[in-house]
């Protein structure tokens, strides 16, 4: 069962993401990061990889794309805030973006 | 050369899109429509088809996706407003969305 992150998980798993450029969204328990890729091809390649994982783990990002930019917001609807699913997805996004650099 | 739509083109080509649910964006010469698909798989399938056309004609949408919803804004950066490229892209989006219904 997916539950909201507790304080220990926030310190151990969320903090490294905040140090990697993710920010807490105002007014809701969610995290945000803008990824800047080389061009649209790279941005959509990045999104496609993420989409496959999203379907696999049934956890989907909210995202906005404009040419080479991808703005991603993560939160878990079912628990009304951040869960381990968001941590997993955020770490995957970090890896995927780094591979495309 | 791509240029902004003239009055005749707006009447002939833009008007049918407005009647199909596209709306003019406030404060800029752009059009917007929200597409609601069956689920994330269908939404991302829709986006993938559009992405291939976008690369082919080098004209890219601004879009936001959250699960089965895809919010699309079209405008042509190089001309600071709507051009025939946006009409082409909007008509493609209509066709692609209808195919997935």
Q: How far apart are CA B52 and CA A94, in angstroms?
A: 25
Q: How far is B58 from chain A (nearest CA, A)?
A: 9
Q: How far apart are CA A27 and CA B16, in angstroms?
A: 39
State in words which class domain B27-78 has: alpha beta
Pairing of β A69-74 and β B69-74? unpaired
Residue A23: predicted pLDDT: 98
Question: Span B10-38, mean pLDDT?
Answer: 97
Average pLDDT in chain B: 97
Nearest to B60 among A40, A63, A64 (CB): A40
Residues of B whose CB is below 8 A from A67: 60
Whether the Cβ atoms of residue B85 and residue B5 lie closer than 8 Å to each other: no
Q: Do B65 and A62 touch (CB under 8 A)?
A: yes
Ordered DSSP codes for A19-76: HTT-EEPTTSS-EEEEEE-SSHHHHHHHHHHHHHHHHHHT---EEEEETTEEEEEE-B
How far is Cα of residue A57 from the mean position of the Cα atoms in its chain?
A: 13
State in words which class domain A7-99 has: alpha beta
Q: Do B60 and A51 touch (CB under 8 A)?
A: no
Residue A1: predicted pLDDT: 85
Q: Do B55 and A66 touch (CB under 8 A)?
A: no
B31-79: pLDDT as tens digits: 999 999 999 999 999 999 999 999 999 999 999 999 999 999 999 999 9
The Cβ of residue B11 has, within 10 Å, a number of other Cβ atoms equal to 11
Residue B19: predicted pLDDT: 97
How far is Cα of residue A99 from the mean position of the Cα atoms in its chain?
A: 16
% helix / strand / coil in chain B, to the nearest 5?
A: 50, 25, 30
Nearest to A55 among B40, B47, B64 (CB): B40
Percent of chain B with pLDDT over 70: 100
A21-53: pLDDT as tens digits: 999 999 999 999 999 999 999 999 999 999 999
């Amino acid at each position: 069962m997916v539950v909201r992150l507790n304080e220990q998980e926030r310190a151990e798993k969320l903090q490294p993401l905040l140090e990697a450029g993710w920010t807490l969204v105002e007014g809701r328990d969610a995290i945000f990061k803008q990824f800047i890729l080389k061009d649209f091809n790279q941005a959509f390649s990045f999104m496609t990889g993420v989409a496959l994982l999203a379907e696999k783990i049934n956890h989907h990002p909210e995202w906005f794309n404009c040419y080479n930019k991808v703005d991603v917001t993560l939160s878990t609807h079912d628990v009304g805030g951040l869960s381990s699913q968001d941590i997993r997805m955020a770490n995957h996004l970090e890896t995927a973006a780094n591979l495309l650099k």
